[in-house]
Structure 1
């Protein structure tokens, strides 16, 4: 079998390099969607120290977070917290609450993959 060599540029809608698409904002956590299909959506989340992704759920979508850099306080339920760090994979199944705050003094980066789309957003209060 002979393989045809292709370039990364040929697959720019299939191969992504997260450091090139990360984006930080001083005023709030930043979600940069890098792909979306009828089945899933992928985003790079960037958070400066003190920034929060509010606790929420998705009625029919799973949300998987892959922590790339930093640490944060993860909220698995209203009123609960557990530390997460680079190397962790966090799974929130449809209906499960999830959110976080970067309470460290360093930047936080994670990749989120969710589906099926549209994922929706149901906010919850931290009681």
Structure 2
């Protein structure tokens, strides 16, 4: 539908497939070979076109993954959007680590920390932990006795080996999403 220039060209449009001449002539498997991964091939395709028709996107996903993806099938493409509310698990004991998604690339977790509760100071020796605060506030432990207030709307990044943890010092729940990358980052308790 849209070629490399991003302009619709009816002369090269294939009505039955929804592809432009360029898309129909592109051998997706050759793109995978150039970059070594389907993600790279998809990026190359994206860079070459401004917009790909949905049907072509499904065909691309199918050919790169070796599976079958049918247009209109509700569960053919893995879900990529998650509701934080579905993962918030308040607990009167220890805060609960509610896993949203775990892959070899990362672990995504939602935390709900009541006032007075604490996530122990720790490190991930082989990965980064990024916290995006959705509500509340807490004292954020950074190691060597360094503590900083962390509030709603802020993002805290702990690189591999950097101490992090938190204690809810506010009056409302401290809720945040943690993304640890990679999934084999490890976990070791540490001093605040």
Q: TM-score, normalised by structure 2?
A: 0.60
- 2:92 maps to 26
**1:116 paired residue among 161, 179, 182:** 182
Shift of 1:124: 1.2
Contact kept, 8 Å, 1:65 with 1:113, in 2: the verdict is yes
- 1:49 maps to 115
Partners of 2:137 and 2:72 in 1: how far apart? 37
Instruction: For residues 7-49 of structure 1, give each alpha carbon's deviation from its aligned partner in whole angstroms, at most 9, with x where no partner exists.
Output: 9876663210101211110111111011011111100011001
Question: In the alignment, is residue 39 of structure 1 matched against residue 105 of structure 2?
Answer: yes
Classify 1:29/1:11 alpha carbon distance in 2 versus 1 (closer, same or farther; 3 Å): farther
Question: In the alignment, is residue 69 of structure 1 matched against residue 135 of structure 2?
Answer: yes
Instruction: For residues 37-70 of structure 1, give each alpha carbon's deviation from its aligned partner in whole angstroms, at most 9, with x where no partner exists.
Output: 1111100011001000011101110000000011
Contact kept, 8 Å, 1:8 with 1:15, in 2: the verdict is no
Contact kept, 8 Å, 1:36 with 1:42, in 2: the verdict is yes
- 1:105 maps to 171
| Aligned alpha-carbon RMSD (Å) | 2.0
CA radius of gyration, larger in: 2
Q: TM-score, normalised by structure 1?
A: 0.89
Structure ranking higher in strand proportion: 1
Contact kept, 8 Å, 1:52 with 1:101, in 2: the verdict is yes
For structure 2, the residue ranges without an aligned partner over 5 or more in a row are: 2-52, 56-70
For structure 1, the residue ranges without an aligned partner over 5 or more in a row are: none
